[in-house]
C-alpha cells in the first residue's frame, strides 16, 4: 500500500534525524536543559519512548493510551546515560515499526482508539508522524544550541542551496520519496 510505505519512510526519516542528532552529542550534552522548565534531549527521548510504547503496543486491539503508561514521569530526569537514552530510543522505534508490520490494506477500515477517541488507521499514523516530527525537531534545535558553530547540518548546509538544487535538477524527472537519498546515506 502506497500510503503505508510513505508513512514508514517518514518515520524512518525522523528516526534518522534523531539518530544523527544523538550521535553528535556527548552524555553531558544530552542531559543539558536551558532552564528547569525546559526539556533536555534525554527527557524528550523518554517522552517519545513512553508515547511509542503506549501507542504502538497492541495497536489494533487496545486503546493507544495504556493504563500502565506514566506520562508525567516521562518528563522527569529518569535517563542518566547516553546508553540508557539509546536503548529507549531504539525500543520505542522498534515497537512502532513492529506494529506497522502488522498492517495491511484489509485492516485500514478498522477504527483504533486513543483515549477513547476513534481514529482511522491513517488518522492515527498521521497523528504520530506529526507528533514525532515535532519532538525530533526540538531535539535538533537543542543540539544546534548546544553545539553552536560546531553543529554540522542535517540537511542542506547554509550557503549550499544552489549547488544542491543544481545536482537535483541535473537528474531526470523520476518518482521517489524525498527521504530515499537521505536514508540511503545514513545506512551506509
CATH number for position 68: 1.20.120.450
- Does some domain include residue 187? no
- Does some domain include residue 158? no
- Does some domain include residue 83? yes
- Does some domain include residue 33? yes
Q: What is the pLDDT of residue 186?
A: 57
| Residue numbers of the domain that contains 16 | 2-153
- Does some domain include residue 91? yes
pLDDT tens for residues 138-177?
Answer: 999 999 999 999 999 998 888 889 988 888 899 988 888 7
- Does some domain include residue 173? no
Q: How many domains does the chain have?
A: 1
Distance between CA atoms of 89 and 15, rounded to whole angstroms? 9
Amino acid at each position: 500500500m502506497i500510503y503505508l510505505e510513505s508513512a514508514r519512510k517518514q518515520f524512518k526519516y525522523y528516526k534518522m534525524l534523531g539518530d544523527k542528532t544523538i550521535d553528535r552529542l556527548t552524555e553531558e550534552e544530552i542531559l543539558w536543559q536551558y532552564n528547569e522548565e525546559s526539556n533536555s534531549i534525554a527527557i524528550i527521548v523518554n517522552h517519545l519512548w513512553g508515547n511509542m510504547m503506549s501507542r504502538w503496543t497492541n495497536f489494533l486491539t487496545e486503546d493507544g493510551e495504556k493504563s500502565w503508561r506514566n506520562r508525567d514521569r516521562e518528563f522527569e530526569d529518569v535517563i542518566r546515560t547516553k546508553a540508557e537514552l539509546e536503548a529507549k530510543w531504539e525500543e520505542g522505534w522498534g515497537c512502532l515499526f513492529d506494529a506497522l508490520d502488522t498492517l495491511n490494506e484489509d485492516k485500514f477500515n478498522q477504527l483504533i482508539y486513543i483515549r477513547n477517541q476513534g481514529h482511522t488507521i491513517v488518522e492515527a499514523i498521521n497523528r504520530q508522524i506529526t507528533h514525532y516530527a515535532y519532538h525530533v525537531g526540538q531535539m535538533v534545535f537543542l543540539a544546534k544550541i548546544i553545539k553552536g558553530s560546531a553543529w554540522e547540518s542535517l540537511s542542506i548546509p547554509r550557503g549550499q542551496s544552489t549547488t544542491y538544487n543544481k545536482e537535483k535538477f541535473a537528474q531526470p524527472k523520476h518518482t521517489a520519496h524525498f527521504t530515499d537519498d537521505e536514508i540511503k546515506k545514513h545506512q551506509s
